[in-house]
Amino acid sequence: MVFERDDAIGGILRYGIPEFKLEKKIIQRRVKILEEEGIRFKTKINIGIDYKAKQLVKEFDAVCIACGSRTPRDLSIPGRNLSGINFAMDYLIQSNRRVQGERIPTEELIDAQDKRVVVIGGGDTGADCVGVAHRQGAACVMQIEIMPKPQTCRTQDLPWPRYPLLLKSSTSHEEGGMRDWSVLTKKFIGLGSKLTKLACVRVEFKKDPQGCPLMQEIAGSDFEIEVDLVILALGFLHPEKKGLIQELELDLDPRGNVKTDEKFMTSKKDVFACGDMRRGQSLIVWAIAEGRRAAYKIDKYLMGQSILSEL
């Protein structure tokens, strides 16, 4: 049995990743296969809120939690309470719902049409927001990033086999818009309660005596960007603590993710964890691999042996 708090199965694949990157009919096709295999899905049930997690643990021999890692990193600077500043996931979830034909009440609508849009955060989530803003008919789209512009090919400081921290450009970037790096956002400026500008400054990175990067503002490099809509795509901190994690009093690792042992079991007996909830915001391939490995471990735990692949 799979419990899901949303109205449809798929997690970020359904409500985070835009339709232009992953068509939702692909997810629907997979869900149908899983249903035909005998898996039962119950949507609109928030475990820890609608259905007590302790009750679930009593009713099932094993429980695997795979609730993702969605607590967004915020930007606590002056003006943060102005209207027109939204988290990336709020924007992407709503946009996916609209693409599926859902009507969003006007007062809740986050729409880029004819607006000057700034996406703060230069990662993949930010790139998805850029693509969505283009499709909604934004007047202009800019993506800014605090870190310096990455190299386009490996340098001496970045030899193989180290992970290549190179400049990535997605189809959303090929479609248009501007990108800027080494930009620190200092302040949101508004007219009344409405956002109108971003106050920014350029930064450079030096190394401290221990060799750690040290960010310094470049004197006199302050500038402003006129903006109507800001999307915060600054990454994710850890899973949501409220609800399930708090109720089960689960131990967390130093990064705030759910801690498990080598059997994928959490600090609570018979409760297992996998995916982003265990390893932090990651990749689909990892979520699939973790799910499979957890399934093997749980099967072995319950049955003493397993015919599933350990991977």
Ligand X SMILES: Cc1cc2nc3c(=O)[nH]c(=O)nc-3n(C[C@H](O)[C@H](O)[C@H](O)COP(=O)(O)OP(=O)(O)OC[C@H]3O[C@@H](n4cnc5c(N)ncnc54)[C@H](O)[C@@H]3O)c2cc1C
Q: Which amino acid is at 242?
A: K
For ligand X, the binding residue among 56, 63, 67, 295 (CB under 6 A) is 67
46 is a contact residue toward ligand X (CB under 6 A): yes
Cβ closer to ligand X: 135 or 202?
135
Checking DSSP bridges between strand 140-144 and strand 183-191, what pairing results, if any?
Answer: unpaired
The 215-234 contact track toward ligand X, x by CB under 6 A, reads: --------------------
What one-character-per-residue DSSP string does 29-86 give?
HHHHHHHHTT--EE-S--BTTTB-HHHHHHHSS-EEE------BPP---TTTTSBTEE
Taking the CA atoms of residue 207, residue 212, residue 213 and residue 216 in that order, the dihedral angle to the nearest 10 degrees is -70
Instruction: Please say which residue, 11 or 177, places its beta carbon nearer to ligand X.
Output: 11
Interface map 9-38 toward ligand X (x if CB under 6 A): --xxx--xx---x-----------------
Does residue 71 interact with ligand X by CB under 6 A?
no
> Distance between CA atoms of 94 and 28, rounded to whole angstroms?
19
C-alpha distances (whole Å) from 37 to each of 30, 31, 34, 264 are: 11, 10, 5, 24
Binding of ligand X at residue 295 (CB under 6 A)?
no
5 binds ligand X (CB under 6 A): yes
Interface with ligand X includes 130 (CB under 6 A)?
no
Structure tokens at 199: 């106050």
| Helix (H) / strand (E) containing 196 | strand 194-207
Structure tokens at 164: 């290549």
Among 203-211, 216-224, 251-259, 272-280, which window interacts with ligand X (CB under 6 A)? 272-280
Taking the complex as a whole, the smallest distance from the CB of residue 223 to ligand X amounts, in Å, to 28
Under the criterion CB under 6 A, does residue 84 sit at the interface with ligand X?
no
Site residues, ligand X (CB under 6 A) = 3-6, 11-13, 16-17, 21, 46-48, 66-68, 70, 92, 124-125, 128, 243-244, 275-277, 282-285, 287
